[in-house]
A and B are shown apart, each in its own frame.
Chain A
Amino acid sequence: MKTTPLDALHRELGARMVPFAGYSMPVQYPAGIIAEHQHTRAAASLFDVSHMGQGTLGGADAAAALETLVPGDIVGLKPGRTRYTLFTDGNGGILDDLMVTRTEGHLFLIVNASRKEADFAHLRAGVGARCKVEELTGRALLALQGPQAVAVMARLAPGAASMGFMSAATLVLNGEACFITRSGYTGEDGFEISVAASGVEALARWFLEQPEVRPAGLGARDSLRLEAGLCLYGNDIDTGTTPVEAGLTWVIGKRRREEGGFPGAGTILRQLAEGTGRRRIGLAILDRVPARSHAPIVASDGQPVGEVTSGGFSPTLDRPVAMGYVKAAHAAPGTEVGVMVRDVARRAVVTEMPFVAHRYYRG
Chain B
Amino acid sequence: MAGLWFTDEHEWVRVEGDTGVVGISDYAQKQLGDMVFVELPAVGRKVSKGGEAAVVESVKAASEVYAPVSGEVVEVNGALAGNPAAVNEDPYGDGWMFRLRLSDSGELAGLMDRAGYEEYVKGLG
**Contacts from A to B (Cβ < 8 Å):** 16, 27-28, 32-35, 219, 222-223, 288-290, 292, 312-313, 315, 320, 342
Contacts and interface: CB of A to CB of B under 8 A. Distances in A.
Contacts of B59: 33-34, 219, 223, 312-313, 315
A35 B59 CA distance: 11
Contact of B39 (A313, A315, A320, A342): A342
Given A33-B60, A313-B59, 12 more contacts: A33-B33, A33-B34, A34-B34, A35-B34, A219-B33, A288-B36, A289-B37, A289-B39, A290-B62, A292-B61, A313-B36, A320-B36
Contacts of A34: 34, 59
Nearest to A218: B60
B113 interface: no
Contacts of A27: 60
B81 interface: yes
B57 interface: yes
Contacts, number: 42
24 contacts: A16-B33, A27-B60, A28-B33, A32-B34, A32-B88, A33-B33, A33-B59, A34-B34, A34-B59, A35-B34, A219-B33, A219-B60, A288-B36, A289-B57, A290-B37, A290-B57, A292-B61, A312-B59, A312-B60, A313-B37, A313-B57, A313-B59, A320-B37, A342-B39
Interface string B28-59: 00000110110100000000000000010111
Interface of A is mostly: mixed
A223 B88 CA distance: 19
Nearest to B52: A342
Which residue, A219, A288, A320, has most C-beta atoms of chain B within 10 A? Answer: A288
A241 B57 CA distance: 29
B110 to A, nearest CB: 28
B39 A32 contact: no
A288 B33 contact: no
A271 to B, nearest CB: 34
Interface of B: 33-34, 36-37, 39, 55, 57-62, 81, 88
B40 to A, nearest CB: 12
A288 B62 contact: no
A290 B33 contact: no
A292 B55 CA distance: 14
Contacts of A315: 59
Contacts of A342: 39, 55
A313 B38 CA distance: 13
Nearest to B85: A34
Contacts of B55: 342
A312 B55 CA distance: 15
A35 B57 CA distance: 17
Contacts of B36: 288, 290, 313, 320
A313 B81 CA distance: 15
Contacts of A16: 33
A223 B36 CA distance: 13
Pick from B34, B59, B62, B88 the residue with the most CB of A within 10 Å: B59
Contacts of B39: 289, 342
A302 B19 CA distance: 40
Nearest to A344: B39
A315 B36 CA distance: 9
A292 B88 CA distance: 21
B34 A292 contact: no
Contact of B37 (A35, A223, A288): A288
A316 to B, nearest CB: 12
A222 B58 CA distance: 13
B60 A288 contact: no
Contacts of B81: 288
A33 to B, nearest CB: 4
